[in-house]
Structure 1
């Protein structure tokens, strides 16, 4: 299980969220949305400080992470965060 954040996605988050080098972004499970793994649940993002990161990756000076208590969502798979240039949006794929 791993978290992969592609550079174009990290740059997009830095711009859209006004992030600076050294900031952290928490990826968390939320109720609602169109999640690909668990019906009725999806992933959200928020600028935050890690408490007990289960997975993390630093890209473009920003640490993206999932807390240990949210790793169950991935079901032992990888999470890849990419930027779709055609639609100018973020894609989160559990693979």
Structure 2
């Protein structure tokens, strides 16, 4: 599994969440909602500088984005691509099955 954060998305994270170099963002599953990869579970994220057991990580502009081992199941073998859509003013999450 890989995490990819677009330039537009990193700008959104820095502005909206006031993130700086050294900060960490955790992606995790939440019970409410739905997603293309899990019924009745949605993707959530939070600033969390105290990871427990990182399974996947990527760093962009000094900010680390990660998924802990307990949440890898949510992605069902898909990579996570995060982008920002300025027309909708929201983050977009794409789940891509690696070839």
Q: TM-score, normalised by structure 1?
A: 0.93
Contact preservation (8 Å) 1:11, 1:60: no
**Consecutive unaligned residues in structure 1, runs of 5 or more:** none
Contact preservation (8 Å) 1:7, 1:60: no
Tell me the C-alpha RMSD between the 2 structures. 1.1
TM-superposed deviation, 1:40 = 0.9
Q: TM-score, normalised by structure 2?
A: 0.89
How many correspondences in the alignment?
Answer: 95
Q: Distance in 2 between matches of 1:53 and 1:11?
A: 24
TM-superposed deviation, 1:20 = 1.1
The superposition leaves residues 40-61 of structure 1 with CA deviations (integer Å, 9 ceiling, x where unpaired) of 1001111102221111111122
Q: Distance in 1 between matches of 2:83 and 2:56?
A: 17
